Structure 1
Amino acid sequence: MFLEFVVWFLLLLWRSSSVFASSEQEYVGFTYNGFRGVNLSLDGLTQITDNGLLMLSNETNQQVGHAFYPDPLHFLGNSSSTGNNSPLSFSTTIVFAFCGIRFFGPAIAFVISSSKEFPGALPGNYLGLFNTTNIGKQSNHVIAIEMDCLQNAEFNDINGNHVGIDINDLKSVVSEPASYFSDAENRYVNLSLTGGQPLQLWVDYNGTEKLLNVTLAPLNVPKPTIPLLSLEIDFSLILMKDHPLFVGFSTATYTMPTSHYILGWSFKLNGKARELTLSQLPKLPNHKSHKARTRLFSVVFSVIGATLVFISILIIQFIVKRKKKFAEVLEDWELEYGHHRFKYKDLYIATKGFVDKELLGTGGFGRVYRGVLPKTKTEVAVKRVSHNSRQGEREFISEIISIGKLRHRNIVRLLGYCRRKGELLLVYDFMPNGSLDKFLFDRTTTTTKTMLNWCQRFQIIKSVAAALLYLHEEWEQVVVHRDVKSSNVLLDKELNGRLGDFGLARLYDHGTDPQTTHVVGTLGYLAPELCETGKAKPSVDVFAFGAFLLEVACGRRPIESEEASEECMVLVDWVISCWSEGKILDTVDPKLGLNYEVEEMELVLKLGLICSHNIPTARPRMRQVIRYLEGEVPLPELQSFVPSGGSSDVSVCCSYAMTRSSSIAESVLSGGR
């Protein structure tokens, strides 16, 4: 009896101590105003300098460095405050600096990981966290906040000066150019990670709301009210449940000499991290050459002071003239759009003054130029759209910003806009291979570099279908593109298809009916009902997608003039005619020869006819189209989808549209939206 009592008492004591330890874990915190005498788990190049700097890396090339808080933390698991297996909140503040970077260099990352050791991790682009075999795998259990000054096309980096949130991979889930929201100026201000000056980073996670916020600012600026990055994320779905985690830093050197420093670090689990005492932070190493240059400039400016006074009038005149040259329209209501607004001066410099040498193409809505943004060195495409009317301008700008929020791998991203005098400038991601129509219809060159094989064409078709499904059903609003055609499908450097040019797009809420609008679009792609009702519904895009399918398969435009007569050949009618004679493969693009999959080709041709049905309700939705393309379900019998007379309503719609206007594509800002 006594022995049983002793065992029961010891068991109760052990469980009580475990609960106490678990409770203690929930509120663990530390503050390091410098790292002299601090016990950290260091690895690789990382060391603590004599004056208390945590030097993550030095100028040794192709090496890694790690620094972690030595004790494991329980972010997940039993919690008296949040419930079982709920992620705990945490807050951390970090002061860091990049020194010695002249042009570019790899990132440093704040890391939450199931381990503080990363065997086989590679330096350089892989940040000392992953290698070629495990990157992107869920088994990594790693969440990282990267501060990166190297643009890696391999990881889809937006530029060479950005902050991103990474999950088990180095392809950031969200990322933004390094900047901070200035509460005083009510706008975003750009920052340079490579400037050699300390910057302050705040990372806050709300375990109840499952919200991760990342905020960046200069050292002497209080924490901005608006974070740079926000992401809804459930740590319990990524990190290992009931398993201790480690927090710390990781970096890796590249081919250029660089040093990464952490000056201070504050962390709190289930609470707000204490503010760092900036006056107690250790100083960065002195750069003697920089001081020498500063003294030299001081002497030079003292000597030429009198000269500057003499020419000050000329400088003022030059500045006034330059301001007039780059003057742009900016009204109070546009302030809410923040960093979606570009400066005209930056776009002017990016395109070298909009010279013809940088001209990519000319369309009904304006001219498109290639440009390189001066601050981030990001390649962009800039479209200049002329406008003479202010009618609906505010609503149009609001819609442009909404479209700029679209994020899909098969959509050309709209980065922002600029207004200046009588024109609007739209800024897009740059697509180095241009538009698809040049590959399909350009007869001036026949090299293999300008030809697309059937495999590439079929993949582009599926990419455009996925983009339309996202627009019609998967985004927060219904987006009807209204101008789906091969010239608006752009190709990146790997020849992947991306749907672009949303100048005619219409947005409306799910479950509502779109309003009647002007008939806009391109002849050959206009759905018959659009000419009558003027209502832009997703079925209008499906009709245009049908014409696009036939374009890609046949290598012909939807409407072409016959060489021997003044009549037009309608592609849909021709394909129907060949199909009715059992010769549908006679319509295949001759440039393909016999190098195509017969089943895939017949699928595309027949699906093109089904999508081109004159009755909107008979056309499939894009989700069903994708199922056909993926071979998940067979196509229905084509007989019921082809008009009994053997021709479509495309000719009728085209004739109707031509009588209304010689150019059906109307300007957006003259009331065409």
Structure 2
Amino acid sequence: MINRHSPDDRRPPQLSKKMPPLELHLSLPLLTIFALLALSASSDFTFPSFTSLSLRNFTFLGDSYLRNGLIVLTRVAFVPSSSSGSAIFAAPLSFFDPDSNTTASFSTHFTFSIKSPSSNSYGDGLTFFLSPDSQTLGSPGGFLGLVNSSCLTKNRFVAIEFDTRQDPHFHDPDNDHVGLDIDSLESIKTADPSLSGIDLKSGNSITAWIDYKNDQRCLLVFLSYTDQKPRKPLLSINIDLSPYLKEPVHPGFSASMERSTELHLIESWSFEAFGFLPVRPKTQPHNVSDSSVIGRPSILVSGSRSKHHKRLVLGLGITGPAFFCAVLVALGYVALRKRRKIKNVKSFKAEIMTGPREFSYKELKNATRGFHSSRILGHGAFGTVYKAYFARSGSVAAVKRSKHSHEGKTEFMAELTIIACLRHKNLIHLQGWCIEKDELLLVYDYMPNGSLDKVLYSELPDEWTLLNWTRRKNIAVGLASVLRYLHQECEQQVIHRDIKTSNVMLDGDFNPRLGDFGLARLMDHDKSPVSTLTAGTMGYLAPEYLQYGKVTEKTDVFSYGIVILEVACGRRPIERDPSNQKMVVHLVDWVWGLHSKGNIIETADKRLNGEFEVEEMRRLLLVGLCCANPDSSMRPSMRRVLHILVNEADLPVIPRVKPGVNFSDSLPLALEDLVSKCEEGEEDEDEDEDEDEDEEELRSPCGVLCKIRVD
């Protein structure tokens, strides 16, 4: 907690006339600096730990948040990920006195730790900085959350970096080093922490002392595993920082990682400024007050004043009643709109179940840092998903924000009313919802391992081992279980209509969680199929659905079959032919082709290195082909699929040659009405910009000409 004055108190602090005995021992220079910094904040504060009361003193940007008394600067990631965050002291501190032309000295010490769940995956490190900008947030990776990769000279700062990865771009000497950075990540001077017996990546608590003595123009950095300050500094630099401390600055911390699993924690922090000379009293060259200047009064002519008065009375007589009527009409209109809005909200609330709670818009806005771009996890069919941190409870959630407040209400209502009453271990749990300020928001459990497609198609070898055979088989069984629940065990049958790897999320144990019910439809059991506008993702759409737009449980079964083949083969539904980039290959056709030759096991993902049960892999691949059969009548129910996967039922006979389907020449829907979201996955949560993708024309299995994106 702050020892003297909270930075939120905008009134100048008053020094008590009756000072406690301890404060009588304060030196005159220290009392002087408190007086000089009274308008901004106390320059002397200590945080033995960080509690919820500390929140008012900090600005958290990016992925940083408060948890269990610690400041966490980067996200908790058990798979390689990119992340950056900063925690900044909210009130500015003044180090320069223009009257005496003196810059204060400062001393700070803090305890930090850098941890990684993987011995082979380290991030980029953390920094302590002073910056005039209270919104300092840089890019992940070697930019240490301090510098923006697109504008290296934008942020101004004086920083001590505790770097854990060598970046040749910034001329880093080695992996572990401590350095002084000023407005650039090319360090002015560095030192090897191993000289003090310190391993920055040990995961142990490390205490750092940073002392700047303005009179000696010297900066010292000390490191220790204990709370005893070493006698010899690790880093000593002769430098004058006064040119960089002329304006008030915010002290803070930043950290980053890129495609790694490093975690950066601040455990405690103390800061002190000192060394101002006594302030010289200001002298006034002339004893003239501001009020001594007399202005010349204006002269009014009586005739013009009388005419002006008559015109004013006449104008008020005409415009007054008109203005009054206009105000009444405006107030009535506002009241009517407010009444309708309240009525709509009440009607909206009545349509959902009582399970999920209602969040306030302010609560969700604060939890997502004003829906900041650094909190984006991905983009769904009907909105953007943000990471939300709720300081009061210390919990993390995912907030889905609808793209269109009016057009998206139908989809929003569908997702809310459907998922609110569903209960299954393989569904993403809905925590709550919000409809305020013409915004539609859903709050879900946060999935730390992201979506299935991100892990399945990662280019990092370290991530390939995360989806071993046991986990892949568990994903197939979990998805089959939840689809059986939706199709056959709910009071009303639920057709998801958008099953794909990017809508399958993975929890901390890599269990699958099906989400994104924006396209889902409720149907009564044993009712006729419903024709609807075709929507979904190309590559996952059943042929009869593309042709007729008819929604049945078999359309979900087809999409499930495609996902299962992806899990087993590690390939996307539609890919370029490696030997001919102008050609594309359908996953189903490729697997079926090798099945017809008796070589279906050759389709197994090579990244598994053969570490799987051959018969189990064969069964999974054949289940995928059975579900992705172009003839919907030949597809099994999800209940039978689940029984097959757990060896409680035999596989049906899979024909050696892929069956064909004949359709009528005349389409029941116009071609322009056949809408498909031609995407291959959600946007990466850690990328600032989407990668450009080529578009090619391709005929779907049913002959409908579509445009798709192909990697």
Give TM-score, length-normalised by structure 2: 0.44
- Higher alpha-carbon Rg: 2
Give TM-score, length-normalised by structure 1: 0.46
